[in-house]
């Protein structure tokens, strides 16, 4: 079992979701985050003062998958999110120790679904 | 020592302002006396019982000055309500658009009234109401500086703005009232072009709209022009204000193109959801409130109160019925009642009753509202089917119902119902005469406004560009056009 964390551009949210569903990955958690990487920040101006703002709006997916779904999920995310420009995001694959379904109490790969 | 100096400075300022106010009060008092049209004895002289008999003349003089006073208060108060509608538009538009474009939309709505104020003053007022030919005003064109002896009325009026000699208020009251209407037309455009237009392109267009386009068509209908002579009636501006704004918006939207991602490749519509229904609701109610200035205020006089009361009720009834019908239709089509359709329904009803409000009965107003609510829902669906992207429904509300409201006069008018001799509409035995004049007006204003707007937008497109770059559109116009976000840091709005 793995937890896949993907940071993507916010405007790619719909594309990534659709690509995931096509790859039979229908369970995920999405949150709104800010972050930076290689993508340059922007300069914010407010009432005469300027700030170099480097944290940009992004969207974070957290998807728990069984091992056989890791590659399809990654491929789907990349298909949905890639624009070829800096700032497309990153995907982290983190080992998942346990997964419990709240409703039934099932654990393990069955619970991941 | 610092404190001592600042106290001295404050006292000097107070002394200076006190004397200025005193001098100003003297001069205004001196100016107020000649403003009365009749050769009147000053009011205070009548108080001395033995010195002056209470003649009809003195009574007339008192009534005259009171009438001017109360009419001016009415005109200004209703103009302030219409001014307040700018807040309504700002809230409706920004609420129906995404968080990342909020600053831009608010900025457009805020600055558009300033643009309207200046360009209407520079030339708009003169083109619209100056004496001239059936096409445009020619006298007193610039800076509202034509000769004028308002509040003199009728034949006693001598000046450059004869088209408004039927209302007995000072010229600046007339000017200000008409100005806020011009501002309303300009702010209609900002909603339809939202989320992808360059800020300076919009500013430039608004100057031309309020300075030249709006006054010319306004002159045809309210300024003594050819449509007015033909017997076309538009009481508070379904055509003059709303469909002019609508046609300009349509031209802009066609030349701009739809927002990125709005229409999918397979032709289906991708709903781009507004970020704050609270703001839309706030805006909707503010607009409804402001309309009680827009419609009843267009009497530009209190009269005996019956006309303004009648108009207030026709206005409200149309809005209420439109809300009910738009809710019902959207409930049927969308399976659940859509708040944005409910609010668009209210606005549609209000736009539709704007032309007929003083010419129809309350019952007719109810029917007009009912139809308007149905029209607006189908219009929104139609524009999306045609791939004409209107983020806030401005075209469905203002253009479609502006046209409908104007034609409704030709259907539902009842002669002299509040005093104006419009003749009867088609449904009240008047035949097609009135309806034909209304239709002619709709076509004339539509053709002129749409073609000129297309030309102006096209020139703007060539000279300074119309649409922001795709990267800017995705990042949000707040950053691209203004360098500031409306909702910085973690405020819970996804900037998709």
Please tell me the distance from the alpha carbon of residue A13 to that of residue A9, in angstroms, as a whole number. 7
What's the predicted TM-score (pTM) here? 0.86
How far is CA B219 from its chain centroid? 15
User: DSSP letters of B101-169?
Assistant: GHHHHHHHHHHHHHHHHHHIIIIIHHHHHSSB-SS-B-SS-STT-S-B-TT--GGG--BS-GGGTTS-S
Chain A residues close to B479, C-beta within 8 Å: 42, 44
Residue B159 lies in a domain: no
Per DSSP, B269 falls in state: B
- With an 8 Å Cβ cutoff, is A42 touching chain B? yes
Q: CB count, 10 Å around CB of B71?
A: 21
Of B474, B483, B492, the CB nearest to A11: B474
Tens of pLDDT, residue by residue over A67-112, are 999 999 999 999 999 988 888 999 999 999 999 999 998 888 877 7
Closest chain B C-alpha to A80 CA, distance in angstroms: 14
Q: In 3D, which of B246, B254, B263 has the Cα closest to residue B375? A: B246
Cα end-to-end distance, chain B, whole Å: 58
pLDDT, position B26: 45
Name the A residues in 65-104 with CB < 8 Å from any B CB.
none
- A38 exposed, middle or buried (CB, 10 Å; 0-12, 13-18, 19+)? exposed
Residue B421 lies in a domain: yes
Closest chain A C-alpha to B496 CA, distance in angstroms: 5
Please tell me the distance from the alpha carbon of residue B56 to that of residue B50, in angstroms, as a whole number. 17
CA distances from B495 to A13, B97, B278, B326 (A): 10, 11, 18, 30
CB atoms A45 and B488 under 8 Å:
no
CB atoms A44 and B261 under 8 Å:
no
Write out the two tokens for B487.
């909702």
pLDDT, position B34: 42
Chain B residues close to A46, C-beta within 8 Å: 483-484
**How would you list the strands of the sheet with A2-8, edge to edge?**
A29-35, A56-65, A2-8, A89-95
**Selected residue of A13, A14, A44, A51 to mutate for chain B interface (largest B Cβ count, 10 A):** A44
User: DSSP letters of B104-116?
Assistant: HHHHHHHHHHHHH
pLDDT-flagged residues of chain B (< 70): 13, 15-52, 495
User: DSSP letters of A56-101?
Assistant: EEEEEEEEEE-GGGHHHHHHHHHHHH--SSTT-EEEEEEE----B-
Tens of pLDDT, residue by residue over B253-304, are 999 999 998 998 888 888 898 999 999 999 999 999 999 999 999 999 999 9
Strand-pair category, A2-8 with A49-53: unpaired
pLDDT, position B41: 45
Residue B149 lies in a domain: no
Residue B16 lies in a domain: no
Strand-pair category, A42-46 with A49-53: antiparallel
CB atoms B485 and A45 under 8 Å:
no
Closest chain B C-alpha to A45 CA, distance in angstroms: 5
Residue B50 lies in a domain: no
Answer whether B417's CB lies under 8 Å from B310's CB.
yes
How far is CA B254 from its chain centroid? 23
Of A10, A14, A46, the CB nearest to B495: A10
CB atoms A57 and B495 under 8 Å:
yes
Q: CB count, 10 Å around CB of B24?
A: 10
CATH of the domain at B304: 1.10.3430.10
Closest chain A C-alpha to B492 CA, distance in angstroms: 8
- Beta-ladder partners of B374: none
Give the B-side interface with A, CB within 8 Å. 261, 270, 474-475, 479, 483-485, 488-490, 492, 494-496
Write out the two tokens for A59.
């969207």
- How many domains is chain B built from? 1
| Farthest CA pair distance, chain B | 90
Coil vs helix vs strand at B331? helix
Which residues are within 8 A (CB) of B153 and not within 5 positions of it... i.e. 6 or more apart? B37, B165, B166, B167, B168
Domains, chain A, in order of start with CATH, read 2-112 (3.30.70.120)
User: What is the C-alpha radius of gyration for chain B, rounded to an integer number of angstroms?
Assistant: 25
CB atoms B494 and A10 under 8 Å:
yes
Chain A residues close to B494, C-beta within 8 Å: 10, 13, 32, 59
Please tell me the distance from the alpha carbon of residue B454 to that of residue B448, in angstroms, as a whole number. 10
- Backbone dihedral angles phi then psi of residue B180, each to the nearest 5 degrees: -65, -30
pLDDT, position B29: 43
Residue B324 lies in a domain: yes
CB atoms A11 and B494 under 8 Å:
no
Please tell me the distance from the alpha carbon of residue B59 to that of residue B346, in angstroms, as a whole number. 45
Of A10, A42, A46, the CB nearest to B496: A10
- Residue B400, domain extent: 62-143+176-482
Beta carbon pairs, A and B, within 8 Å: 31
CB atoms A46 and B484 under 8 Å:
yes
Answer whether B369's CB lies under 8 Å from B352's CB.
yes
Which residues are within 8 A (CB) of B450 and not within 5 positions of it... i.e. 6 or more apart? B247, B250, B251
Residue B160 lies in a domain: no
Nearest C-alpha in B relative to A14: B496
Tens of pLDDT, residue by residue over B164-189, are 999 999 999 999 999 999 999 999 99
Closest chain B C-alpha to A104 CA, distance in angstroms: 32
User: What is the C-alpha radius of gyration for chain A, rounded to an integer number of angstroms?
Assistant: 17
CB atoms B484 and A43 under 8 Å:
no
Chain A residues close to B488, C-beta within 8 Å: 44
Closest chain A C-alpha to B278 CA, distance in angstroms: 22
- With an 8 Å Cβ cutoff, is A44 touching chain B? yes
Closest chain A C-alpha to B494 CA, distance in angstroms: 6
pLDDT, position B27: 45
Please tell me the distance from the alpha carbon of residue A2 to that of residue B308, in angstroms, as a whole number. 72
Residue B158 lies in a domain: no
């Amino acid at each position: 079992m793995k937890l896949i964390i993907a940071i993507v551009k916010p405007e790619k949210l719909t594309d990534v979701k659709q690509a995931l569903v096509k790859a039979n990955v229908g369970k995920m958690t999405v949150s709104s985050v800010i972050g930076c990487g290689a993508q340059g920040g922007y300069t914010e101006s407010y009432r005469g003062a300027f700030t170099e703002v480097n944290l940009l709006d992004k969207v974070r997916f957290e998807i728990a998958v069984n091992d056989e779904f890791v590659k399809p999920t990654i491929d789907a995310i990349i298909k949905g999110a890639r624009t070829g420009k800096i700032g497309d995001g990153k995907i982290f694959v983190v080992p998942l120790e346990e997964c419990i379904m709240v409703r039934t109490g099932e654990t393990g790969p069955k619970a991941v679904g | 020592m610092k404190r001592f100096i600042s106290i001295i400075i404050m006292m000097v300022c107070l002394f200076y302002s006190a004397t200025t106010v005193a001098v100003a009060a003297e001069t205004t008092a001196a100016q107020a006396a000649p403003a009365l049209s009749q050769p009147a004895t000053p009011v205070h002289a009548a108080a001395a019982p033995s010195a002056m008999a209470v003649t009809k003349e003195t009574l007339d003089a008192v009534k005259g000055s009171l009438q001017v006073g109360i009419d001016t208060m009415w005109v200004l108060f209703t103009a302030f309500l219409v001014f307040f509608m700018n807040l309504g538009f700002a809230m409706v538009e920004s609420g129906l658009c995404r968080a990342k474009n909020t600053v831009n939309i608010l900025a457009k709505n805020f600055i558009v009234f300033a643009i309207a104020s200046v360009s209407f003053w520079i030339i708009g007022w003169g083109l619209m109401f100056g004496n001239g030919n059936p096409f445009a005003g020619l006298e007193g064109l610039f800076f509202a500086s034509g000769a004028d002896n308002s509040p003199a009325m009728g034949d006693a009026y001598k000046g450059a703005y004869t088209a408004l000699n039927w209302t007995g208020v000072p010229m600046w009251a007339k000017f200000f009232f008409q100005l806020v209407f011009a501002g309303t037309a300009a702010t209609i455009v900002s909603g339809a072009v939202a989320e992808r237009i360059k800020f300076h392109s919009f500013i430039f267009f608004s100057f031309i709209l309020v300075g030249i386009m709006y006054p010319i068509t306004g002159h045809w209908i309210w300024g003594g022009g050819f449509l007015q002579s033909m017997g076309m009636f538009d009481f508070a501006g379904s055509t003059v204000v709303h469909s002019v704004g609508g046609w300009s918006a349509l031209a802009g939207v066609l030349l701009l193109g739809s927002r990125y991602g709005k229409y999918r490749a397979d032709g289906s519509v991708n709903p781009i959801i507004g970020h704050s229904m609270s703001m839309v609701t706030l805006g909707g109610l503010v607009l409804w409130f402001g309309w009680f200035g827009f419609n009843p205020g267009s009497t530009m006089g209190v009269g005996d109160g019956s006309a303004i009361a009648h108009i207030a009720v026709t206005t409200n009834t149309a809005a209420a019925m439109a809300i009910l019908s738009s809710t019902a239709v959207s409930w049927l089509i969308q399976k659940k009642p859509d708040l944005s359709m409910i609010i668009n329904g209210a606005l549609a009803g209000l736009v539709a009753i704007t032309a007929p409000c003083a010419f129809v009965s309350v019952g007719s107003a109810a029917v007009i509202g009912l139809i308007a609510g149905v029209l607006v829902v189908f219009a929104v669906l139609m524009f999306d089917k045609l791939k004409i992207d209107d983020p806030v429904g401005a075209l469905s509300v203002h253009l479609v119902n502006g046209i409908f409201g104007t034609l409704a006069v030709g259907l539902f008018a009842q002669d002299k119902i509040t005093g104006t001799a419009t003749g009867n509409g088609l449904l009240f035995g008047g035949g097609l005469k009135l309806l034909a004049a209304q239709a002619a007006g709709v076509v004339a204003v539509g053709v002129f406004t749409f073609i000129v707007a297309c030309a102006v937008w096209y020139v703007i497109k060539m000279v300074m560009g119309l649409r922001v770059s795709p990267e800017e559109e995705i990042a949000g116009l707040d950053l691209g056009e203004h360098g500031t976000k409306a909702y910085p840091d973690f405020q819970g709005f996804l900037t998709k």
